Structure 1
Amino acid sequence: MLAINDQPHQVSRRDFLKKGSMASLGLLAAPSLFGSADLFKGPGSKFAGVQIGAITYSFRSMPGSIQEVLQHTINSGVSAVELMGDAVEEYAGCPADKKQMAGWRATVPMDKFKAVKKMFDKAGVKIYAFKPDALGSGNTDAEIEYAMRAAKTLGATAVTVELPRDPKQTERLGKLGAKHKVYIGYHAHTQATDTLWDTALEQSPYNSMNLDCGHYIAAKGHDTNSLLALIEKRHSRITSMHMKDRQTAAHGGENLPWGQGDTPIKEILTLLKTKKYKIPVTIELEYRIPAGSDAVQEVKKCLDYARKALA
């Protein structure tokens, strides 16, 4: 996610809904990120073996209950999502007072999360990643373990979080990920380098990359060749990708509609198709929505671009 100053965009639960009404573990062997089974059975947005999904943050300008988020997803034609935590936690009855959140997360039963999975399954939408605001250095171990239990209950393979600066935190998350067998996909902005994730990936087999291709391409010194090389090198450790079309730093770094920026979207999708990398590609809508349109219509445009690129 991109804020105007290119810092991680923090969207609170209230704001999100209001807007719309291995170190010591190094010797452990982790299973494949995606296993041998095809995790994505839903209709609609898998083309030539490449699963196109969306992060539900893309619908932040629209009504945001869990039922509405699902409807936006269906209306956009997307059959797989990275699910933000806000609407799910509201549905599960989280307290309005943030001071009570840690205690609630430590004790909340998974019944409502099971209901959400059933709801999405019935609609043919797979939840492949879960992004609650519960994985930071200020969160308790109980909160982090809650996030992982919830992810598994929702059917997700991974939780996602901004890459911490402190390697102690990635080590902590990696150990808890190994305990619960849930991957932690670390997201980065334009601070990304080809070696940025190396320490985290070495600390635990459950530490992985949530590679944002748009932010990467907007960082100084990066180009199509370096991005494709990084994907090839690290494909087995990439949990999912965020896809947006940004300009390079030299061109201004702006977020633009797909096909108008410098992110090599077609080349990336072709690489996944050719190499048969089982990495879901996540539409993240961050460019300005044109007058007369809405987030659902713009996600549909991105999905159509991907479909044509993979034809």
Structure 2
Amino acid sequence: MPDQSAEATLKYVTESGINAIELMGGPAESFAGLPASTIDRMRMGQLGGKQRRGEALTADETKELREMQQEAEAYAKVVAEWREKVDYRKFEQLRKMYKDAGVSIYAFKPSAFGQNNSDADIAYGMKAAKALGASHVTLEHPANDAHTQRLGRLGEQHKISVGYHGHEQQTFTFWDTALAQNPRNGLNFDAGHYVAAGHTDMMELIAKQHKRIYSMHIKDRQTPANGKGNLAWGEGDTPLPAIFQAMRANKYRFPASIELEYQVPEGSDAVKEVQRCLEFCRKVIV
């Protein structure tokens, strides 16, 4: 959707019929006063991806990428300085604004938890999450045991949990080391990616780890044999009815996040498609 402000995001959420969310850093941090970046992240990602794949960049592309990287480094310093002085009451105000509209924030995902982030950055993200009312923060699993141990320790210190997200690298034992390191470490499980990775033991994984699943992303992807596509709900191979019915029957406490990643049909928009996903949930939870 075009407007990614906290106010617009809240409007999209309420129009979708959702009453609890995992909130990305952008809307919350802009609301709290973070100076806006002028970097074209999409273009930077395109050029960076081309370089990582070993594809030759033209002289102009090389210059463009270098300038973007320098701008990103300078902006990172601006962000770090802002985070040191941030007024957490702004996050509390956002929490109240959402709560007054009937929406709770159960997870927060700012770009503050990477391996290159300082302990101060990480502490900021965790404090902001608490001010928003979240029970946990989320990030991509770093594939670095020292870093998951560090995050677990800081989560324990700040009394907030850490949910690690995975894509097609997820396996039944993917989170075992992080879970063993600290009780604050847990799963931000992605059911669709797990199916696309070719695994058939998802229900067993959910049953085993349900107490350590802090939140779960839901999308309807296909198996590798069927092309791994990301389809409208009910058209892929993710066992959505079984997941939702197991959550209800076993009284699992973690939320399942509608993650809209399939192609939005012509004439529709993200709000209408999330409404469609929510209606699918209502029909299969019987």
Give the TM interval when normalised to the shorter protein: 0.7 to 0.9
- 1:215 deviation in Å? 0.3
2:16 equivalent among 69, 76, 79: 76
Residue 107 of structure 1 corresponds to 85
Structure 1 CA distance for aligned equivalents of residues 151 and 86 of structure 2: 21
Structure 2 CA distance for aligned equivalents of residues 100 and 137 of structure 1: 18
Confirm or deny: 8 A CA contact 1:102 1:140 kept in the other structure: no
Amino acid at match of 1:81: I
Residue 58 of structure 1 corresponds to none
| SS of aligned partner of 2:238 | coil
Residue 194 of structure 1 corresponds to 172
Structure 1 CA distance for aligned equivalents of residues 34 and 3 of structure 2: 18
Larger Rg: 2
The reply to whether residue 204 of structure 1 matches residue 182 of structure 2 is yes
1:91 equivalent among 13, 17, 31: 31
- 1:207 deviation in Å? 0.3
| TM-score, length-scaled by structure 2 | 0.85
Q: Which runs of 4+ in 1 moved over 3 A?
A: none
Amino acid at match of 1:197: W
| TM-score, length-scaled by structure 1 | 0.79
The reply to whether residue 284 of structure 1 matches residue 256 of structure 2 is no
| SS of aligned partner of 1:113 | helix
| SS of aligned partner of 2:247 | helix
| SS of aligned partner of 2:183 | coil
Q: Which runs of 5+ in 1 are unaligned?
A: 1-60
The reply to whether residue 151 of structure 1 matches residue 129 of structure 2 is yes
Residue 230 of structure 2 corresponds to 255
Residue 243 of structure 1 corresponds to 218
Quote the sequence identity (%).
51
- 1:95 deviation in Å? 2.5
2:163 equivalent among 164, 185, 192: 185
- 1:294 deviation in Å? 0.2
Structure 2 CA distance for aligned equivalents of residues 155 and 309 of structure 1: 30
| SS of aligned partner of 1:164 | coil
Q: Which has the higher contact order (CA 8 A, sep 6+)?
A: 1
The reply to whether residue 273 of structure 1 matches residue 248 of structure 2 is yes
Q: CA RMSD in A?
A: 0.8
- 1:107 deviation in Å? 2.2
1:130 equivalent among 105, 108, 114: 108
Residue 44 of structure 1 corresponds to none
1:231 equivalent among 193, 200, 206: 206
- What does the per-residue CA deviation read over 1:245-299, in whole Å, with 9 as the maximum and x for residues that have no partner? 0001111101000000000000000101111111101000000000000000000
- 1:99 deviation in Å? 2.2
- 1:62 deviation in Å? 3.1
- Number of residue-to-residue matches in the alignment: 248
Residue 40 of structure 1 corresponds to none
Structure 2 CA distance for aligned equivalents of residues 309 and 63 of structure 1: 32
- 1:103 deviation in Å? 1.9
